[in-house]
Amino acid sequence: MEKQTEVQELLNELVATFGVFNIKLYQHHFYVKGPHFFKLHEEFEELYDGLTEQFDELAERLIAIGGKPYATLGEFLEHSVVKESPYDSKETAEEMVHSTVVDYKIIDEKLQKGIVLTGEAGDDATQDLLIGYKAGVDKTIWMLQAFLGKDPLED
């Protein structure tokens, strides 16, 4: 039973994280400027659309295994591993992409921990969900890093 509680807590942390990260992607979508505007405006929209679907799946999976997902902005901010950052000063498109990569790497680490934990808990369905998300995050990191002229694992 203890592992199941740990899985619920991890999923709830991911729900909060995806909630905060979704708003950060919207922020970049709203404020991106420059020669890459059209491509990045569309890319940030695709990213938050995909994240919204995953956010919903995580919350539903949490309910399915007896948990209660966070559902307020305050809970999201309190429990997210990704921190919000108000748009106080102009950011270049490259800075926005870089900060998105940083957040995706934080999420990638949390997903990896979740994959291990769900394996230990024998929760194959949740593990499968997290593995699928991690594969997508890894690909997104690679593509965003390529946009920045960097290798996928580079800082």
On whether residue 154 sits in a domain, the answer given is no
- Global pTM reads 0.93
Q: Whole-angstrom Cα distance, residue 122 to residue 144?
A: 34
Structure-derived torsion over alpha carbons of residues 23, 46, 140, 120, reported in degrees to the nearest 10: 70
Q: Could you tell me if residue 99 is inside a domain? A: yes
Mean pLDDT of 55-74: 96
The backbone torsions φ and ψ at residue 90, rounded to the nearest 5 degrees and listed phi first, read: -60, 135
How far is Cα of residue 119 from the mean position of the Cα atoms in its chain?
21
Around Cβ 18, how many Cβ atoms within 10 Å?
24
So what's the pLDDT on residue 136? 97
Q: Which secondary-structure segment (H or E) carries 63?
A: helix 37-64
Q: How many domains does the chain have?
A: 1
CATH number of the domain to which 10 belongs: 1.20.1260.10
What residue numbers bound the domain in which 103 lies? 2-147
**Confidence bin at 153 (pLDDT 50/70/90):** confident
Distance CA 38, CA 73 (A): 30
- 152 in a structural domain: no
Decide if pLDDT at 88 tops 90.
no
Chain segment 92-118, per-residue pLDDT in tens:
999 999 999 999 999 999 999 999 999
Is the model's pLDDT at 1 over the cut of 80?
no
